[in-house]
Amino acid sequence: MDALELVRVRELEVAVRIWHPEAPRTVIAWHGLARHGGDFADFARELGPEWRVLAPDTPGRGLSSWSLYPAHDYLYANYMSVALALLDHFGLERVPWVGTSMGGLIGMLLAAEPESAARIERLVLNDVGPELDPEGLADLAGYFGVPHRFTRFGDLEAELRRHYKGFGIEGDDAWRRLALGSARRLPDGSWTYHYDPRIGEQFVHDTPRDTWADWAAIRCPLMVVRGRQSPLLKAESVTRMAEAQPGLVTHEVPGCGHAPMLDRVDQVAPIAEFLAGSAGPHPITRARSGMSSLWQRLLGRLDNRPRDHS
């Protein structure tokens, strides 16, 4: 990164990683559930020096504060408030948004809410949408809902290689960089991940909502990137997304599951082309009725899952 800005949002300090700080155009790049803004270093390089990339660390992750009130702060409504506070801080009335997984959902909700829709110029969802596979989502919640401890740094890196194989990361150097940016040493000398272990509580405390209605409400230009082997965003869901939003631009990444790292030219070039387009609205149709909230379905499955407290 080229710069780091620490922004106070109420009692929390939010770290924003910045690439190309003097560039004429700005894009927000928001990471996934248990990642941080540093994941967008290669994305910023591939996107080029004409784009200032602002990549926040969501509270509880990376360099940002951990919350003393996880049941209040680790929720989508609060992440949306933090995002709007950051847009205000940087003087951004309207900005394109690229979001991976959770970061994409934050952007989707901002673009759907009448009070904030005008702030999102265009939206790129990286392997996420209004409908996610409940089994894959439950696995994700289960993994990040328990603490992880590793005796050796090498053990942490090996676990990252196993858990994040869907990112499509290539080469030992790339995996080592991911490990260096993901590790936090514990007082006893062992290792764990960088994030607050309580971030997974959002799966319990967050309020279910009709995400298909949110999707139908969006008026800005839309793009979805999907890993071809994604366990979360199914190809059929992308088809339904396009039916509800006929102007949707889609791009599928071979050799990736959840979620493409957006770290190479063949993944970033289609996004760059989309971001360079005009910002006018496009026509939409009504979303399919009868779609249950993905959060409601997840909560029901989590209630029935055996808990591992080891």
Task: Give the residue extent of every domain in the chain.
Answer: 3-303
Give me the pLDDT at residue 67, please: 96
Give me the pLDDT at residue 207, please: 78
Each of the 310 residues of the chain gets a pLDDT tens digit; together they read 999 999 999 999 999 999 999 999 999 999 999 999 999 999 999 999 999 999 999 999 999 999 999 999 999 999 999 999 999 999 999 999 999 999 999 999 999 999 999 999 999 999 999 999 998 888 887 888 788 999 999 999 999 999 998 888 889 999 999 999 999 999 999 999 999 999 988 888 887 889 999 999 999 999 999 999 999 999 999 999 999 999 999 999 999 999 999 999 999 999 999 999 854 443 333 333 333 344 344 444 444 443 333 3
3-303 carries CATH number 3.40.50.1820: yes
Give me the pLDDT at residue 150, please: 97
Give me the pLDDT at residue 141, please: 79
Give me the pLDDT at residue 278, please: 53
Give the tens place of pLDDT for each residue, 133-189.
Answer: 998 888 887 888 788 999 999 999 999 999 998 888 889 999 999 999 999 999 999
Residue with tokens 């990137």: 225
Residue with tokens 């499955």: 301
C-alpha atoms less than 13 angstroms from C-alpha of 79 in its C-beta half-sphere: 28
